[in-house]
């Protein structure tokens, strides 16, 4: 019963690839945005925060549709990219973008909360000790928020593994190209007799998510010990 | 050190508007909380920017709104020791201490870390975890961290405030040793007259965002009547004691003082409340007070129904606080001789 078809294995591989890429690309940006939200004093902070958090509350399908409008052949970004012969929709890149946008608020929220718990005086002390802005950011703020950054990355990775709504609209459900685990499960459930195959992938999904949680817990514990 | 400052800063309802020049090596900024002390410190360190004015240190402009100069905190070479030591929690004590040193240009590294560790007694702390340090230890580490950057000026913002009441003054000898050994100019911010007198030679009195007075610390202490409920406190720095029956005898100028408390180390600081000194016109035949000192009246200050008599005893000065009626009855005036009687138990140890 618990056997995986080559297509399933491809789906698992794609899922991991999409989630990893989306998380790695989003992390530097997430750290920057979280820093601005935690320590910045600019106007309109609430509005920026609202826009970033929007994908968290919108139905993923809506996010996917908005992305399709943006990256589609007639979209603002899509048009520019198609001149460069780059296509986003129905590609793995599209799946990565969909996952990145949907998971981004979780990443930023986690890092921001971590950064807000850092006493701003530490950075000030570092400055008076001769450290420039980047120096104090890299040696004080970043190490002190490393746990929060890691927690945010885990959260985003897990969310990306489960991403369905935005992905199916922007990247479609093409086996071997954009079909990740959730999309494969969806296809099995809508095919007669696909129940046991769906269940197998469900178990894989559970195992993957659980591994991520355990790994994150273990990593947090080692970081705390340091 | 030559510091010229003229700054304006509006912050909500509060306005800081100061102008002063300093050349002393140890200056205090003295004022109640909310008077603008910390605002001034942040402006000097470059952590906040003034609306207008200038800051010049030894001829160099650190800030000048007219010329659009505003050096960043890391370019000013002004050290700051904050009220709470703010040791970096993710670094060891050693890494904390060397954080600024590593970022100081080799030409500017004039202080050898090991020499400083000796003065501050930090050697045994180096391998400890930051969170296990006591308040006083944390402040010593924070001071070492700042001193090693060899700043042109060190600002200390109420560094004794967070410390245990009984132990807080134990850090004073360390501070004094560091500042006299390494000759770094100090700007000491505090609302405590006692701390000011232990750490500074002159003070800027700040209130309501304005500098009200620029005065010698001792003159301020002698002439201020209401800043301290206790009145004037005499500070006596005494060396090692020798046993005297069941009491302890200390050298004080060319006379001796008898105290109930022993002095086991070279540096001891005692306080003596001015109201604890009783004055006699002639040598009393017998008294329970263990110290009878022949003094000459230097000066008398009056305020309401209190009078402070500045006495010259051997080579030092003491201030006794009595009432004007006694001044009249005893005929105390400048230049006359009196006997000061002080109980052995009237001296209280500060450190």
Instruction: Answer positive or negative: Cα dihedral of B30, B32, B34, B35.
Output: negative
CB contact (8 A) between residue A129 and residue B149: yes
Q: Measuring CA to CA, which residue among B101, B271, B111 is closest to residue B179?
A: B111
Distance set, CA B93 to CA A58, B89, B151 (Å) = 48, 9, 20
Chain A residue whose CA is closest to B88? A122
User: Mean pLDDT, 10 residues at a time, over chain A (226 residues)?
Assistant: 84 95 96 94 88 92 94 87 87 94 95 94 95 96 94 93 92 91 92 89 92 87 74
CB contact (8 A) between residue B45 and residue A125: no
Give pLDDT, residue B229: 56
CB contact (8 A) between residue B74 and residue A127: yes
Chain B: closest CA distance from residue A143 (Å):
7
Tell me the chain B residues in contact with residue A135 when contact means C-beta distances shorter than 8 Å.
74, 103
B11 in contact with A, Cβ within 8 Å: no
Give pLDDT, residue B235: 93
CB contact (8 A) between residue B72 and residue A132: yes
Chain A: closest CA distance from residue B146 (Å):
7
Give pLDDT, residue A145: 95
CB contact (8 A) between residue B99 and residue A122: no
Residue A77: CA atoms inside 13 Å, Cβ hemisphere, count?
Answer: 11
Q: Which residues have CB under 8 Å from A61's CB, separation 6+?
A: A165, A166, A169
Q: Which residues have CB under 8 Å from A40's CB, separation 6+?
A: none
* Mean pLDDT for chain B overall: 92
Q: In the block, which residue shows the tokens 């100061």? A: B18
Name the 3-class secondary structure at B154.
strand
Query: The pTM is what?
Result: 0.85
Give pLDDT, residue A87: 86
Tell me the chain B residues in contact with residue A143 when contact means C-beta distances shorter than 8 Å.
90
Give pLDDT, residue B82: 92
Beta-carbon pairs below 8 A across chains A and B: 57
Give pLDDT, residue B230: 62
Chain B residue whose CA is closest to A120? B86
Chain A: closest CA distance from residue B143 (Å):
11
Chain A: closest CA distance from residue B90 (Å):
7
């Amino acid at each position: 019963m618990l056997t995986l078809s080559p297509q399933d294995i491809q789906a698992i591989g794609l899922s991991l690839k999409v989630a990893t890429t989306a998380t790695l690309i989003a992390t530097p940006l997430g750290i920057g945005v979280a820093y601005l939200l935690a320590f910045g004093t600019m106007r309109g902070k609430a509005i920026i925060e609202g826009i970033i958090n929007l994908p968290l509350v919108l139905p993923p399908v809506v996010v996917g549709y908005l992305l399709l409008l943006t990256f589609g052949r007639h979209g603002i970004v899509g048009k520019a990219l198609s001149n460069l012969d780059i296509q986003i929709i129905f590609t793995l890149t599209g799946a990565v973008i969909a996952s990145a946008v949907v998971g981004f608020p979780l990443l930023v929220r986690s890092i921001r909360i971590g950064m807000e718990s850092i006493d701003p005086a530490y950075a000030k002390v570092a400055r008076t000790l001769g450290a420039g802005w980047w120096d104090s950011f890299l040696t004080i703020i970043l190490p002190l928020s490393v746990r929060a950054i890691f927690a945010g990355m885990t959260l985003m990775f897990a969310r990306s593994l489960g991403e369905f709504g935005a992905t199916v609209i922007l990247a479609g459900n093409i086996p071997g190209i954009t079909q990740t685990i959730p999309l494969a499960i969806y296809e099995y459930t809508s095919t007669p007799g696909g129940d046991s195959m769906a269940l197998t992938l469900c178990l894989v999904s559970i195992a993957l998510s659980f591994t991520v949680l355990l790994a994150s817990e273990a990593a947090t514990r080692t970081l705390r010990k340091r | 050190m030559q510091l010229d400052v003229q700054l304006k800063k509006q912050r909500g309802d509060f306005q800081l508007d100061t102008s002063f020049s300093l050349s002393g090596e140890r200056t205090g900024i003295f004022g109640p909380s909310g008077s603008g002390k910390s605002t001034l410190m942040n402006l000097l360190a470059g952590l906040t920017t003034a609306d207008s004015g200038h800051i010049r240190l030894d001829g160099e402009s650190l800030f000048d709104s007219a010329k659009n100069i505003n050096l960043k905190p890391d370019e000013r070479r002004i050290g700051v020791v904050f009220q709470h030591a703010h040791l970096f929690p993710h670094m060891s004590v050693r890494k904390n201490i060397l954080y600024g040193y590593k970022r100081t240009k080799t030409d500017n590294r004039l202080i050898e870390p090991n020499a400083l560790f000796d003065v501050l007694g930090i050697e045994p702390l180096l391998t400890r975890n930051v969170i296990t340090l006591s308040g006083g230890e944390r402040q010593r580490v924070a001071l070492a961290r700042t001193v090693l950057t060899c700043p042109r000026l060190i600002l200390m913002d109420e560094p004794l405030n967070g410390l245990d009441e009984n132990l807080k003054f134990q850090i004073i000898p360390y501070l004094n040793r560091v500042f006299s050994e390494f000759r770094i100019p100090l700007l000491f911010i505090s609302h405590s007259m006692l701390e000011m007198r232990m750490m500074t030679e002159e003070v800027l009195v700040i209130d309501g965002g304005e500098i009200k007075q620029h005065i010698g610390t001792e003159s301020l202490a002698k002439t201020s009547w209401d800043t301290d409920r206790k009145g004037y406190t005499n500070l006596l720095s005494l060396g090692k004691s020798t046993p005297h029956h069941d009491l302890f005898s200390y050298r004080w100028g060319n006379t001796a003082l008898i105290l109930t408390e022993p002095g086991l180390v070279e540096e001891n600081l005692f306080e003596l409340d001015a109201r604890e000194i009783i004055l006699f016109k002639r040598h009393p035949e017998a008294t329970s007070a263990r110290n009878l000192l022949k003094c000459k009246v230097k000066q008398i200050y009056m305020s309401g129904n209190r009078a402070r008599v500045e006495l010259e005893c051997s080579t030092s000065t003491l201030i006794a606080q009595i009432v004007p009626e006694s001044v009249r009855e005893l005929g105390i005036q400048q230049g006359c001789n009196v006997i000061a009687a002080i109980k052995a138990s009237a001296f209280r140890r500060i450190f």
